[in-house]
Structure 1
Amino acid sequence: MSETATAAKPAAKRRTKFLVVVDDTPESRVALRYATRRARNIRCGVVLLRVVEPVDFQQWAGVAEIMRSEAHEAAEQLLHDLAEQVNKESGLLPELVIREGVVRDEVLNLANTDPDIRMLVLAAAPSNGTVGGQGPGPLVTALAGQMAGDLSFPITVIPGSLTDEQIDRLT
């Protein structure tokens, strides 16, 4: 058997996972619902990533540590709440990941360390019908535009204004 065939065999046994970056925006919930429904239908996993922005309070180290701790606790609570929702709606138990840093960098870092992640699912922020609206959001702009070539898997960007019923029809 050739070396290529041997290397391909273990990769085929890996479990495909969809990566969803979650935050406090409504569009992240849209991306989560889409990824969860799609994952349930094709029998793969979901990874929820919450990135905590670093706290820079050098003059007050004690305050910075408290702020960092509170941010991590809030991230844990958010992920556990979303995981419960995912499980209730789909029966899936998502992986929960908290990272500290810049969101786009941490997405790339996680993608590079977990070969089972095969797709990133994002939802674009709605423009609210205004000219020059808020745009798709900084993460969508960075990852789907400037950094798309740095990922080894596709990015799915869905409209952040989709309703649950619309998402269910798509998946």
Structure 2
Amino acid sequence: MVSTRLSSTEGHRRKFLAVIDETPECSRAVHYAGRRAKHSGGALVLLYVIPDGDFQQWLGVEGIMRAEARAEAEATLAKIAQSVRETIGIEPEMVIREGLATEQINKLIDEDRDIAILVLAAGSAKDGPGPLVASIAGKAAAFPIPVTVIPDALTDAEIDALT
């Protein structure tokens, strides 16, 4: 069930959600979402999802591996947030979750009813647009908010012209 978005209610503002991962096209989604947030008086939320399956086989070192993954997530988010501050001039919210990306995206959207648009970037590799885009595109009809997919071939200048 889709929860009512609060982004148009007084005292709230529309949030654009960008998922942070190790794909080269990730920066396209962040730039677009950040520009849209700035120009619409909204906010940018950066979500980094740590896959939980990475720790289950190594029970003896699970805590260490989890801490290392979290430190890596924090460092990645800090770097991207700094870039957003310098290039777009807004302060993004940063969220780290553990689990399956699509599940964590849905949970965050359900919990933060100001999130109104999910922004993803499609890769141009011959094997498709990327696993997250493919997964969400397959479920788009049941997705709780609009999804914007940015082609990874767009430059910052082209994205700026669109936003």
The structure that is helix-richer by fraction is: 1
- Identity fraction in percent: 44
Residue 65 of structure 1 deviates from its aligned partner by: 1.6
Q: Secondary structure at the match of 2:149?
A: strand
Q: Which residue of 1 aligns with 2:82?
A: 84
Alpha-carbon contact 1:122-1:158 (below 8 Å) kept: yes
Report the equivalent of 1:19: 17
Match in the other structure for 1:69: 67
- CA gap of 1:69–1:163, structure 2 versus 1, over 3 A, is same
How large is the RMSD of aligned CA atoms in angstroms?
Answer: 2.0
Matching residue's letter, 1:77 = A
Any stretches of 5+ residues in structure 1 without a counterpart? 1-6, 128-132
Q: Point out 4+ residue stretches in structure 1 off by more than 2 angstroms.
A: 7-11, 55-58, 149-152
Q: 1:84 to 1:114 in 2, by over 3 A?
A: same
1:84-163 matches, cutoff 5 A: 84-127=82-125, 133-143=126-136, 145-163=137-155
TM-score (norm 2): 0.89
TM-score by length of 1: 0.85
Unaligned runs of 5+ in 2: none
Q: Is the CA contact 2:13–2:42 (under 8 Å) kept in the aligned structure 1? A: yes
Count matched residues: 158
